[in-house]
Homo-oligomer: A and B are copies of this chain.
Amino acid sequence: MGQVFLDITMSLDGFVAGPNVGVANPLGEGGKRLHDWLFLGAADASGVDRRVAEELFTGTGAFVMGRRMFDVGIGEWGDDGAFGVPVFVLTHRAGAPVVKGPTTFHFVTGGIANAVGLAAEAAGEGTVGLVGGAEADRQALAAGLVDELRVHVATFLLGAGTRLFEGGGWGHVELERTRVVESPFATHLRYRVVR
A residues sitting closer than 8 Å to B (CB atoms) are: 12-14, 30, 141, 149, 151, 153, 155-160, 163-165, 168, 170-177, 180, 182, 184, 187, 189, 191
Contacts and interface: CB of A to CB of B under 8 A. Distances in A.
How many monomers of this chain does the complex have?
Answer: 2
**Most central of A13, A149, A151, A160 by chain B CB within 10 Å:** A13
A89 B163 CA distance: 31
A13 B164 CA distance: 8
**Most central of A172, A175, A189 by chain B CB within 10 Å:** A172
Nearest to A194: B156
B187 A172 contact: no
**Most central of A156, A163, A171, A184 by chain B CB within 10 Å:** A156
